[in-house]
A and B are shown apart, each in its own frame.
Chain A
Amino acid sequence: MEIDAVAKNFQRKLSVYQSLDERFEIQKEMYRGQQYSQIYFIRLHKMRSLLYSLVEKWKPDVPVCTVLGLEEGKECIIVGTLYKHMKLKPSVLDEYSKERSVAPLVKSHNFMHPDDQLVLEDESGRVKLGGTFLAPSMFVTGLVVALHGKETSAGDFLVQDILEPGLPPQMQLPCGSGEDKYVVFVSGLSVGSNTSNPLQLQLLIDHITGHLGDEKEQSIASQIVRVVVAGNSVEITLGLLNGQALASKDQSRLSEPIKELDILLTQLAAAVSLDIMPGPSDPANFSLPQQPLHRCLFPGASAYNTFVSCTNPHSFELDNVRFLGTSGQNIDDLGKYSDAEDSLDFMERTLRWRHLAPTAPNTLGCYPFTDKDPFLIESCPHVYFVGNQNKYKTRLLREGQLVRLICIPKFLETGVAVVLNMRNLECHTLSFSTHLDP
């Protein structure tokens, strides 16, 4: 029997990790019965101070006024929060309306209608926006913008121009040591689903941990410094969670997906640093920011200090490269209330609006903060990722600063994971297939 030549032991590359999730944690928050008006106030205040400074460079000779201070026919600039009045948006009050028209059942994908109207609101009042400059399909409720225009005799505001906050300032991308270091993004593992293929997931883990392939592949795998799991790691069959007490045999079925996930994550955590984010179908709280999955769900993996349970949205720095990402809820919600060619456009818009989730708390569940709005993007990330999307898509924004936008596809459906090279922000995919078709 031939003994293999001395197997090369590859050392995995290291990188310095710093989590910036503190702003998304809500342990210190205390609920005192407040409503969402507080978070809207903070958002308006912070964005308005920013916009006032930008407006001076944009149109320095046009006066700025509040909504209540509008005079008919006088050109001015107003800053406020946008509200989009949507006919088809489901409202809980419809249940109580006396006239029960034959309204269509709520279709979950898009509530847009040609008659949607935009309104601008600040603490003094609100004004309807008229004219054809603004296309309501591009905007959602909750954005703070500056508008240039004038009040018409009909009482609405004729918009001539709009100023969005634009891309936030970015810290310089580090020049790097010249060596390639990779970060793997994967989302939508959906362990426990009927259609999940455990072999596909095992292939992914084996590749990352270096158990697959020859030396060349293993050396590539040793350059992976971190794995980020962006949400929807488990899928618990909905039939089990119908509010009734579970029989004992069902109770074990409830926890099996998590146990299976823990076994897989233990293998990963033993070999590489791992970040796991909660998603819409994970056992975490519903409203954003979702809190980290509890350590007790992962008895095996949490024993390793390479295992980090993170919030959703998740922000971190790796070798001074800043990452920011979510498990998809913010972009999916934008897709229901506005229109764009693809998810990358939505992502770009959220960066230009400097707000991760403008529809929160209107249509996206959110914690009622009183003293901060954690979704405001103050510093532009170098890498902005969104999980649980339908297809893999990526774009590099170049506007004096580089931002890599990544849409991570659902692993359950596509078998694709995304690999990012931190040296040059290039992206490629890892695709796993277990088809045995001839």
Chain B
Amino acid sequence: MATGSMKNYYKQKKSGIGKSPSKPKSKPTNKSPAISSSLGSDLAQPTVLIAHGSPDLKDEFGEDEEVLRQFDLNMAYGPCLGMSRLDRWERANSLGLNPPKVVESLLRGGKTGVDCLWDGRV
């Protein structure tokens, strides 16, 4: 019975095909050893979220945010902490550093984060 249901349980999936819903996979409880080496409770192992076939390890952000983060990390424009991204862009512009115009249009569009990557976290 166990082997039979195993195949149904662990669906063979190719990465990239986003057809199947993100079904949480969990080890069946009868598999967990009686003596557990893990601390704390003997609950089942935590679930792993699979979205679109690859582990979803990033927060919700899109390509725009990725471009802005690269702008934050670029040392040529100075430190990013303590300034809003638009201020930093304008400063880079007035110093003649030619920051990418894409970043300016994204920032003025207003749909992206105003502050840098680490703002409030450091």
Interface residues of A (CB under 8 A from B): 32-35, 37-38, 41-42, 45-46, 123-124, 368, 370-371
What is the total of A-B residue contacts with beta carbons within 8 Å? 37
Is B28 part of the binding interface, using a Cβ–Cβ cutoff of 8 Å? no
CB of A45 within 8 A of CB of B82, answer: no
B82's partner among A34, A42, A124 (CB-CB below 8 A) is: A34
Which residues of chain A have C-beta atoms less than 8 A from B84's C-beta? 32
A370 and B82 form a contact (CB under 8 A): yes
Q: With CB as the reference atom, state the residue of chain A lying closest to B75.
A: A123
Contact B75 A370 (CB under 8 A): no
> What is the CA–CA distance of A368 and B81 in the complex, to the nearest angstrom?
13
A124–B74 Cα distance when bound, in Å, is 11
> CB-nearest residue of chain B relative to A45?
B95
- Contact residue among B83, B94, B95 (Cβ-Cβ distance under 8 Å from A38): B83
Annotate B48-79 by CB proximity to A: 1 below 8 A, 0 otherwise.
00000000000000000000000000011011
Q: How far does the Cβ of A121 sit from chain B's closest Cβ, in whole Å?
A: 12
Is B87 engaged at the interface, CB distance under 8 Å to the other chain?
yes
Residues of B within 8 A of A368 (CB): 82
A37/B75 in contact, CB under 8 A: no
Contact A38 B79 (CB under 8 A): yes
Smallest CB-CB A-B distances: 6 pairs:
A34-B82, A41-B78, A37-B79, A123-B75, A371-B91, A33-B82
Contacts of A37 on B, CB cut-off 8 Å? 78-79, 81-82
Measured CB to CB, the nearest residue on chain B to A44 is B78
Whole-angstrom distance between the Cβ of B5 and the nearest chain A Cβ: 56
- List A contacts of B75 (CB < 8 A): 123-124
A124–B82 Cα distance when bound, in Å, is 20
Min CB gap A69→B, angstroms: 13
In the complex, which residues of chain A have a beta carbon less than 8 angstroms from the beta carbon of B87? 370-371
19 A–B pairs (Cβ distance < 8 Å), ordered by A: A32-B82, A32-B83, A32-B84, A34-B82, A34-B83, A35-B79, A35-B81, A37-B78, A37-B79, A37-B82, A38-B78, A38-B82, A38-B83, A42-B95, A45-B78, A123-B78, A370-B91, A371-B87, A371-B94
Given A33-B82, A123-B78, 13 new contacts (CB under 8 A)? A32-B82, A32-B83, A34-B81, A35-B81, A35-B82, A37-B79, A38-B82, A42-B78, A45-B78, A46-B95, A123-B75, A370-B82, A371-B94
Chain A residues in 8 Å Cβ range of B82: 32-35, 37-38, 368, 370
CA separation between A34 and B76, bound complex, in Å? Answer: 18
Q: Least Cβ distance of B26 to chain A in Å?
A: 44
Residues of chain B within 8 A (CB-CB) of A45 are 78, 95
Contact (A370, B83) CB under 8 Å given A45-B95, A123-B75, A124-B75: yes
**Shortest Cβ distance from B76 into chain A, in angstroms?**
8
Closest B residue by C-beta to A32: B82
In the complex, what's the smallest C-beta–C-beta distance from A251 to chain B, in angstroms? Answer: 39
Best-surrounded residue of A32, A124, A368 (most CB of chain B within 10 A): A32
| Chain A minimum-CB-distance residue to B77 | A41
Q: Considering the chains assembled together, what is the distance between the CA atoms of A371 and B82 in angstroms?
A: 12
B76 contacts across to A, CB distance below 8 A: 123
Within 8 A of A (CB), among B90-109: 91, 94-95
Shortest distance between the CB of A333 and any CB in chain B (Å): 24
- What is the bound-complex CA distance between A371 and B87, given in angstroms? 9
Q: How far is the CB of B74 from chain A (nearest CB, A)?
A: 10
Give Cα distance in the complex from A42 to B91, angstroms: 10
What's the minimum C-beta distance from A160 to chain B, rounded to whole angstroms?
A: 27
Query: In the complex, A35 Cα to B95 Cα: how many Å?
Result: 19
With a cutoff of 8 Å between Cβ atoms, the chain B residues found around residue A32 in the complex are 82-84
B83 — which chain A residues lie within 8 A by C-beta?
32, 34, 38, 370
**Residue of B whose beta carbon sits closest to that of A123:** B75
B88 to chain A, nearest CB (A): 8
**In the bound complex, how far is the Cα of B94 from the Cα of A124, in angstroms?**
22
Q: Quick one: closest B residue to A368, CB to CB? A: B82
- Chain A hits for B81, CB < 8 A: 34-35, 37
CB distance from A32 to the nearest CB of B (A): 6
Q: Which residue of B lies closest to A34 (CB)?
A: B82
Nearest Cβ in chain A — how far from B44, in angstroms?
Answer: 44
A393, B87: Cα distance in complex, Å: 45
Complex Cα gap A45–B94 (Å): 12
Docked CA distance A33–B115 (Å): 12
Q: Which B residues touch A371, using CB under 8 A?
A: 87, 91, 94
**Distance (Å) between the CB of B97 and the closest chain A CB?**
8
Q: Which residues of A contact B79 (CB under 8 A)?
A: 35, 37-38, 41
Shortest Cβ gap from B95 to chain A (Å): 6
Shortest CB-to-CB span from A84 to chain B, Å, is 22
**Chain B residues, Cβ within 8 Å of A41:** 78-79
Q: How far is the CA of A41 from the CA of B83 in the complex (A)?
A: 13
